[in-house]
Amino acid sequence: MSVLSGAEPFVHEGSEDIGVLLCHGLTSTPQSMRPWAEHLAAAGFSVRLPLLPGHGTRWQDLNRTTWQDWYAEADRNYEALRERCRAVFVCGLSMGGTLTLRLAQRHPDIAGIVVVNPSVLTLRRFAKLLPVLSRFVPSIAAIAGDIAKPGASELAYDRLPLRAMASLQRLWALVRGELDAIEQPVLLMRSAVDRVVESASAAAVLRGVSSEDVREIVLSDSYHVATLDHDAPRVFSSSVEFIQRIHRERVEEAV
């Protein structure tokens, strides 16, 4: 199955000091993160933004994958950066934030993480029915393109594959159960208005991590896909400042 135009992965071989892995959200593609990736590359970092399995083709393909497939691709790209760079940071949007948290749990050597509107739970009633519903209903209408900025659009499926969503729900439970294993510096950015991921997700992350260096930024002028929205420049600049500060402090501690 051919990949949709614009959904291609992004790789930039920059600094050997700092590498950054970015992870996109469920039903989305690297297009939603491409401006962020390019900004990080312009800052001199090595950057990898993979297309996660089941994405960027047809929504039916996503139903044939599980969270283990998405995590394996993210992990493979993390290892590629780790082989090249002295320090690796991981950034994620929505479900990409879930993967970022899981990577931090499994790889204590990750230097720091940046999550934007990360998902680790939902309070919607249908979630309780999802394990059963997903066996009989292939998909429902997706909430894609939740962007306040006029003219901005997200390259994503217009259907939410329920078997894939049920798999993400299982990943949420794993991540929530081990949030206290995350000790790396954390920058969490969340939109004040998000019609996809409830604010309870960000609250659970902030409450659960063991990190001493935690910062929360509220994005007042963006919806869920903040990386394509009005606050995108703030997301980009704040992440660069965070990465540079953490790396500088790590170097100073090593001297």
Residues with catalytic roles: 94, 194, 224
Exposure string of 25-58, with b = 16+ CB inside 10 Å and e = fewer, is: bbbbbbbbbbebbebbbebebbbbbbbbbbbbbe
3-state SS, one letter per residue, for the chain: CCCCCCCCCEEECCCCCEEEEEECCCCCCHHHCHHHHHHHHHCCCEEEECCCCCCCCCHHHHCCCCHHHHHHHHHHHHHHHHHHCCEEEEEEECHHHHHHHHHHHHCCCCCEEEEECCCCCCCCCHHHHHHHHCCCCCEEECCCCCCCCCCCCCCCCCEEEHHHHHHHHHHHHHHHHCHHHCCCCEEEEEECCCCCCCHHHHHHHHHHCCCCCEEEEEECCCCCCHHHCCCHHHHHHHHHHHHHHHHHHHHHHHC
Pair of tokens at residue 141: 């209408």
Expressed in angstroms, the distance from the first to the final Cα of the chain is 51
